[in-house]
Amino acid sequence: MEQGGSGYRVEIASNSRSKCKGSLCGRSKIPAGAVRFGTFVDSGRFQSWAWKHWGCVTPRMLKNVKNRLGEDDLRNTLDGITALPDEWIDKIIRAVQEGHVAAEDERESKKIANGMKASTSTSIRSDKKPSMVPPKVVRKTKRHHVTTKSVLSDSDDEAEFTGSSEEYDSD
Ligand SMILES: [Zn+2]
């Protein structure tokens, strides 16, 4: 099994089974073909990657990446980055340097959340005008059942585990 390495990894999702750990998108699934950002999690019981849409990566997480890997040599220190297209490599390096993902990427993740909201609400009633109220996405479920923690003790919410492993890739 592949080890955690630096503790972070970026890659193009090869399937749609992983669920985003970010809140921006409403914790939806990461579609195959999308760039996803992983944090290695070692619970003692099992090792796994916690994935996020690139647009859901938080400034705090980027700061952790910067602290751990630096910002000048990410091509060599960040797992998987060189397998991505050049524009993505640039995008990711820039985000780490600037401390936040590009606004356009953040919008992409918000769109996912809004899309979920729109599709459920229109199926019920479509005569309401599109609301500007942020989607009420259930995002902060209680953590009392969280049984695992990240090896990266300074990481934020990227390693919230529900205890079930079926949503994580086993590869
Ligand atoms: Zn997401």
Report the separation in Å between the CA atom of 71 and the middle of ligand 1, taken as the mean of its atom positions: 23
| Amino acid occupying residue 131 | S
pLDDT score at 117 = 59
Other Cβ atoms less than 10 A from the Cβ of 90: the count is: 11
**pLDDT bucket at 6, cuts 50 / 70 / 90:** confident
Structural domain spans, the chain: 8-120
Report the separation in Å between the CA atom of 17 and the middle of ligand 1, taken as the mean of its atom positions: 13
Residue found by looking up tokens 């009420």 in the block: 136
Predicted TM-score (pTM) above 0.75: no
Report the separation in Å between the CA atom of 20 and the middle of ligand 1, taken as the mean of its atom positions: 5
CATH number of 8-120: 3.30.1740.10
Using DSSP's 3-state secondary structure scheme, residue 93 falls into: helix
Q: Considering the chain, what is the average pLDDT of its residues?
A: 80
Ion ligand 1 — residues with CB under 5 Å?
Answer: 20, 22, 25, 53, 56, 109
Kindly state the helix (H) or strand (E) to which residue 53 belongs, with its residue range: strand 47-53
What percentage of the chain carries pLDDT values higher than 70?
Answer: 65
Report the separation in Å between the CA atom of 52 and the middle of ligand 1, taken as the mean of its atom positions: 5
pLDDT score at 79 = 95
Do residues 62 and 101 make contact, with C-beta atoms less than 8 angstroms apart?
yes
For the chain, where are the alpha helices, taking DSSP H only?
Answer: 59-69, 74-77, 86-98, 103-124
Report the separation in Å between the CA atom of 21 and the middle of ligand 1, taken as the mean of its atom positions: 6
pLDDT score at 141 = 54
Report the separation in Å between the CA atom of 58 and the middle of ligand 1, taken as the mean of its atom positions: 10
CA-CA-CA-CA torsion sign (150, 42, 33, 20): negative
Report the separation in Å between the CA atom of 57 and the middle of ligand 1, taken as the mean of its atom positions: 8
Q: Is the pLDDT higher at 135 or at 170?
A: 135
Reported as a single tens digit per residue, the pLDDT across 76-116 is: 999 999 999 999 999 999 999 999 999 999 999 999 998 86
Q: Is the pLDDT higher at 160 or at 20?
A: 20
Report the separation in Å between the CA atom of 39 and the middle of ligand 1, taken as the mean of its atom positions: 14
Q: Is the pLDDT higher at 132 or at 76?
A: 76
